[in-house]
Structure 1
Amino acid sequence: MLQLTELGARLKEARLSKGYSLDDLQEITKIQKRYLSAIEEGNYSIMPGTFYVRAFIKQYAEAVDLSADELLETYKSEVPANKTVESTTTATIQQPQSRRSLSKIPSKGFMDLMPKLVVALFIIIAIVVIWVLFQNKADNSTPDIKNEAPITVDTKTPTTNNKNKDNEVAGSKDQDKNDEKTTKKEEEKQKLSKGTLVNDNETTNYTLTGTEEYKIRVEVTGDTWVGVQDENRTEISDRADVYHANDVVEVDAKGKQSVRIRLGAAANANVFVNDEKLKLAASPSERSTQNIVINFSEKE
């Protein structure tokens, strides 16, 4: 059996002082029991990825009323480094090199095209000259129509059928009704406020108004933890767990006062509220783990 690390021992001591079993903590944090046990034992090799280690430790610490930032700083030598930042830096360094390589493309190809461009220009000029000559010939062959009988145009105003008038009036009314419906729909368009960061720097509050719908969708682009809870911290998604690329988490939260979306790797997920993409107030590159709280109000 693995020896408890100092970090794991402190977390376990806090859990026991709260009177929580691992099953209780699993229910509170929605983190699988085997991951919680691995954190206490310092067995991070069974985690789904190194960037989940810090996220799970933070949730564990919050559940037992410990300061997550203080723990991670104190025992940073025990926690694996997050590789997300390294990959981002590498991509940033490589990008300018590819742009510089594009600027070195030789201009010899343009010189090779010059003869072809000259030939194409001569062909276009020849086509224009032939078209002008053809037009002049057509104008000269037009017969003289001065002696032909003039065309008589009837200027009498036709009698309007009353039935057609009624149809036009009815059509106008229907158009007005459609315009009113369109205007009403535009007035009922939802409004999603800008995110406001809370003191813990991991939670962002939003307010949704102007709609009766309250549908949440999380589109996953890479490995990330996703959990969706209501105002009572009750899980309302199918499961709170690690999701992978192309997974979609959908929740109909109608009737709820608010929802709390927990993202383990915010850069690997896009959040939509009634098909409107939510803009994160905190950059995922600076803050990987994020809590997104959306408060719902039908009235503006």
Structure 2
Amino acid sequence: MKINSSHADHVSHGGHGGARPGGLSVSESGYTLEFDSTILSTGTQTVTFRVTGPDGQPVTEYTPEHEKELHLIAVRRDTTGFQHVHPVRDRKGTWSVELALEPGDWRFFADIHPAGHDGTLTLGIDASVAGQYDPQPLSNDTRTAHVGAYTVTLDGELAPGEASDLTLTVSRNGRPVTDLQPYLGAYGHLVALRVGDLGYLHVHPESAPGDGTTEPGPEITFMATAPSGGTYRLYLDFQHDDAVRTAEFTVRATSATRRPDAASQAAPEHNTGHHHGHHAQHAQH
């Protein structure tokens, strides 16, 4: 199943042509993400926040994107703890959601399309979770993820400023999964975060379940554009047997002109901004 994404524009909100990912700012186009507290406790808790509009008032009308008015992504700054959740909004515009948080510095992303605005926005905010922080090292190049009995493999390269296909293949106990269930209107949901500043790429398959051509696995293919070279963490959400699971990868965006084919393994170059794609690193989740 090959599904291209019509949402490559999530790489750059506001028409920056891929030069700037989303989620780097708490405010954009007059819309601001406001948490009731940016100092949080350890463990499972309810987090509340709102999005204010150009008039300074909480936004209460949204255009749903991928079946939800707001997608909230939570991730610790060391790229662990990824969570993709869908808060509940009250009539006054306050959102609430239950999250399980470990000590450390966290980044939260709100992916929204305010009613009347000309497109989607991704707003980002930092918060601190109290407690002893044990940051984890970034995983090495990872093209295979294990999630319980499931194995997900990643094929394809991220290229700075170039659209490219990323194909993820899902199997369980060594057998291809051919009955993936729709999740948020698709068979997969992919988030990529740029390591260093957690610049946010959010990509969905273009084809949809039930369109007569899209098969429910084992392959899910996204079209993505990296805004720059560097290391990215990729988080794939997929649903099977009525449960949503997340597979994580580390990928490095490399220049197509310097990237060898899969059979070639040249040593990576340092301090040039060009690295060989087979040594990629990944988001996300």
More strand by share: 2
TM bucket (normalised to shorter chain) is: under 0.3
Q: Which has the higher helix share?
A: 1
Report the TM-score when normalising by structure 1. 0.27
Q: Normalized against structure 2, the TM-score is what?
A: 0.28
